[in-house]
Amino acid sequence: MSALFVCPNVYDGRMRRRFLADELRADTALLTGQNAAHLARVLRARVGQEFEIAAEGVVRLGKIVSVDDDRVQFALGEEVLTPQLRELKLLVAIFKFDRMEWAIEKATELGVTEIIPFVARRTDSHLAQSAAKRVERWRRIAHEASQQSRRVSPPTIANPMNLKNSATVSADTRIVLAESEDERMLKDVVPAAGSVALAFGPEGGWTTEELGTLNSAGWLSASLGPTILRAETAVIAATAITMSVAS
């Protein structure tokens, strides 16, 4: 799908940078905190410079009207129309935090709309107990990755829950990635249109009971191939495959 722009997003041969607004007031947007500090100190922004500002699912051209170390104010102008990404939700069993952060960052860059961390039977107990304290960090990572990849908004990252609750997520097609599946490949079951949910098990793998629960709830099982992938590799690979077949 090609993008249609109401106003140009390229200047001097470069792609115009995009920021996610921290506050929106009619035709005025604000960057605060770390966002403002990066723009003011690192990029040395000046009054009159223009950037793309995303807020509430809309991107508009923003001209800087004031700059402080902790606050940058924009006057918003024309809308910049952007491509519509397919709706893709990920159910991710909590795994080692450094690798999970990598998966969240890359899945965000690839365009997922929602990430639901859950506690599986084989999730390490220490990780399960500490996960709730990591959610805000995961959201910050997703926010930064969204700006870097020029998204309109960051994905929603839910608070950790159990498999029973997370498995009820709504999507036109729901697919669980399972090592035990040897007939259906993910690329063969992902539809060209419609919303999709993908479920990924923990580093120790799904239990038979968990797969039974998902299959009974209407989830299809699919494979990413004959090799055993790390959890973060599976998340990135499956997300890329799913997004690539969107019409």
CA distances from 39 to 44, 56, 60, 117, 130 (A): 6, 21, 17, 32, 33
Please state, in angstroms and as integers, the Cα–Cα distance from residue 175 to each residue in 58, 220, 240, following that order: 30, 5, 14
Question: What pLDDT score does 75 carry?
Answer: 93
Question: What pTM value is reported for the model?
Answer: 0.84
Domains of the chain, first to last: 10-80 (2.40.240.20), 88-244 (3.40.1280.10)
Q: What is the pLDDT of residue 81?
A: 83
53 forms bridges with which residues in the sheet?
Answer: 19, 60
Region label for 216, one of left (φ > 0), alpha (ψ between -120 and 50) or beta (otherwise): alpha
Provide the pLDDT for residue 126.
95
Give the C-alpha separation, 157 to 38, whole Å. Answer: 24
Q: What is the predicted pLDDT for the residue at 202?
A: 92
Q: Among all chains, which residue has been given the structure tokens 């960057």?
A: 31
Which residues, 6 or more positions from 138, have their beta carbon under 8 angstroms from its beta carbon? 100, 101, 104, 115, 117, 157
DSSP state at residue 122: T
DSSP 80: E
* pLDDT at residue 14, rounded to an integer: 53
The token pair that represents 211 in the structure block: 């797969």
The string of pLDDT tens digits covering residues 148-159 is 888 999 999 999
Low-confidence ranges of the chain (pLDDT < 70): 1-15, 247
Q: What is the C-alpha to C-alpha distance for residues 71 and 37, in angstroms, rounded to an integer?
A: 8
